[in-house]
A and B are shown apart, each in its own frame.
Chain A
Amino acid sequence: MAVSTETAPADRAGTGERTSRARRAGRWRTTLTFWYFVGPFVAGLLVFTYIPVIWSAYLSFFEARNTVSPASEDFVGLDNYVAMLRDDAFIDSLGTFTVFAAFIVPLTFASSLALALMLNKVRLARSFFRSVFFLPFACSYVVASLVWKMSIFNGVRYGMANSILDLFGIEDIAWLFDPSPPWYWLVIVTLRLWIQCGFYMILFIAALQQIPEHLYEAAYVDGAKPGWQTFWHITLPQLRATSVAVLMLILIAAYQAFDEFYNLIGNQAYARPPLMYLYNTALGTVQDLGKGSAGALILALLIALVTVLQGKFLGFGRSEGQ
């Protein structure tokens, strides 16, 4: 692992031995400091991420119901992978994710960029508005789900949304548990938008502040008008690297959607994203850790593949403006 080694100032007046000892002590201190800060995180990553992933890969080759340490005779090779790929419910869950991503990725991107552009123009109380929009990001999905489910979008007459509809004489809507029409997408998408827009907005604001002012000035000299023209030809190209990163982050977060589905709807066939299905298979009542692990690895590979392809096509890693 690369360690930044900034040597202690040498004692030029001292002997070579003293200088060497001081240098060694300095290096030791630097190394200690490095591990002091990095060690706990490396240990956490190892214990809570890498070991479970490796163990999960191991389990995926076994018939492992109600056990995390299957016997060698329970080895089933790739059977769990085949079973998951033939499992309609798992494939359907990927379909559910696709619909979810189709809504949430463009909406989050457009909303957070719009908020960032507006805040970048605001001169008055900018910090206040930035905080207001960022604050929901600090709220947990569980808490927000309960507020959305119990207060705003419950299906009875005193739910907030139904109360408003009632003013216009519209009958109560069971927002979450009647999929025809699929109002539950409105609940799920608005919740995630409310929580995550502020975070991506901050990323865009940071990128907007890096765009050199002289680019706009030069454009104005050349006759460009403020507004759509400069946004399309200067701002958006300059935000390219940030936009690509934001798109990838939103998509990965969508793949990992669990909390709001779990808390809002539960295990329903019509709105069951991949993680929800895998949770039920491995950790819920089914307790089939072999198939659950195989499904988790298939999903991880899918996320990695999509991320790499997206990065390749959209140019992840290129600098702003390239």
Chain B
Amino acid sequence: MVASGNNPYEKALAGLAMNRRRMLALGGLTAGAGALSACGGDTGRGDGDGDGITLYQWYHEYGEAGTQEAVKKYAEAYEDATVVINWVPGEYETVLSSGLLADKPGDYPDVFEGHLNRSMVDSGQVVPLDDILEDVKDDYTTDDLARNTIDGKVYGIRMIDDPQFLYYRPSLFDAAGVGVPETFDDLIAAAAELTTGDVKGIFLGNDDSATKMFQSIVFGAGQTLLTDDNQIGFDADTVLAGALKVKELHDSSSLLVGAPTEAWDPSSFIQELCAIQWCGLWALPAIQEAHGDDVAIMPVPGFNGGNPTVFNGGWDTFVNANSEHVDEAKAFAKWLWIDNEEYILDWNLSYGFHIPPRLSMRANAEALADGPAAEAVRISEEYGWAENPNWTPTMETAVDDMMTRIVLEGADPESEFEAAQGTIQTELDSIFG
């Protein structure tokens, strides 16, 4: 079951329009009070039917055509509750954070997608889902479980795996006489060769072209963000040597910066603004539609003798601990994202590509069986690294600032590393004592 007209904002606007008419009829002050009371009473969300239970499920706005219709279809097919979809455009994580602070049913999500971090658990926002995952834990990759686990409890169900890597066009490489880069030095050289008057060699992103390489530097060197006992897992020599390589790329004129779209959107690659672009598996169908068979992918090459890396991004589903219907929300999450092979495969393969997180279902993912998609699955499994839920946004901001200052502003690397290290250590001390 799904509530029709499930965008609460549209309903709220409709409510306001009605109140404006009432205002004209009754006069300003009375109607002003009416407007306030109506805003409180009519949330614009559909009432539950059947047994009267309504679950509110939140998604960020996926860019691929048909995704919103798909989640409505899934919600409608669920028989044990009315599921109201909130499809959130813009900065989803911020809207979600506010939503999770709300007290009134309908203002907060019962089931939502997101990314786990420790503060969500410490502040009691999410419930453990070990019971509904009990029988299938072995059917997820270790990384997919680890990124959803805090202190031995699993809080999230993996919905999609989104490996991110570099797209390139073999024909451009052939024309420039460039081989596939095996090291970051090769990548810098290839980008320079591929740069022409109208096309830049490589696009890593507008506002994160310096910062997103940090994790590649760390994981490529066999290090990690945080060790198992939650200490800093990388060293200055590795990070600074890598950061200076990224600076070398930035200082060349072969990096595209300031493109109209960010790197999660394949438009720059499709519009031939760049020869190589960082993007995710989700964009493969759109890129193949534009460039046909002239598309290949590669992991981010290793820095200074390190290994190649692939960021295994993705989304997970959680159940709000403050929900009035925790058990019903867990049942719905289990039905949709653990048991429902048809919908899991539909969601992963029909609207842009993602890797189904259930290992047993990957064999049925025919769309990922050959070509660049199969290569994506392979390098994701071989070189992939995953987020750590103990790595907080404050820590991320600290290393982002460090990379920005070293790479873009030419700041002193050692002092920047010390500053970032200090911030991370303070954060670790405040969390783990």
Contact = CB atoms under 8 A, between A and B. Distances in A.
Nearest to A150: B260
B393 interface: yes
Q: Which of B94, B209, B256, B258 has the most C-beta atoms of chain A within 10 angstroms of its own C-beta?
A: B258
A286 B394 contact: yes
B259 A178 contact: no
Interface stretch (A6-14, A118-126, A153-161, A223-231): A153-161
Contacts of B209: 177
A294 B216 CA distance: 35
Contacts of A156: 256, 258-260, 273
A23 interface: no
Nearest to A284: B94
A198 B259 CA distance: 31
Interface in B188-204: 198
A283 B98 contact: yes
A88 B260 contact: no
Interface residues of B, number: 39
B364 interface: no
A155 B257 CA distance: 6
Interface stretch (B55-63, B120-128, B131-139, B174-182): B120-128
A285 B94 contact: yes
Given A177-B209, A285-B393, A270 B253 contact: no
A89 interface: yes
B366 interface: no
B228 interface: no
A156 B394 CA distance: 32
B233 interface: no
A269 interface: yes
A270 B28 contact: no
Interface string B203-243: 00011010000000000000000000000000000000000
A285 B93 contact: yes
Interface in A233-287: 265-270, 280, 283-287
A155 B259 contact: yes
A174 interface: yes
A286 B258 contact: no
Interface string A100-143: 00000000000000000000000000000000000000000000
Contacts of B120: 66
Contacts of B119: 65-66, 287
B365 interface: no
B253 A268 contact: no
B419 interface: yes
B120 to A, nearest CB: 6
B408 interface: yes
Nearest to B121: A66
A176 interface: yes
Contacts of B401: 89, 269
B65 interface: no
B409 A88 contact: no
Nearest to B91: A284
A268 B404 contact: yes
Interface string A280-298: 1001111110000000000
B393 A174 contact: no
A217 interface: no
9 contacts: A66-B120, A89-B397, A89-B401, A155-B256, A177-B207, A177-B209, A266-B207, A269-B404, A270-B405
The 9 closest A-B pairs by CB, nearest first: A155-B258, A66-B123, A174-B257, A285-B393, A174-B258, A269-B401, A269-B404, A286-B393, A266-B207
Given A88-B419, A267-B397, A270-B408, 11 more contacts: A67-B123, A155-B206, A156-B260, A159-B258, A177-B206, A178-B257, A180-B409, A265-B207, A270-B405, A284-B93, A286-B392
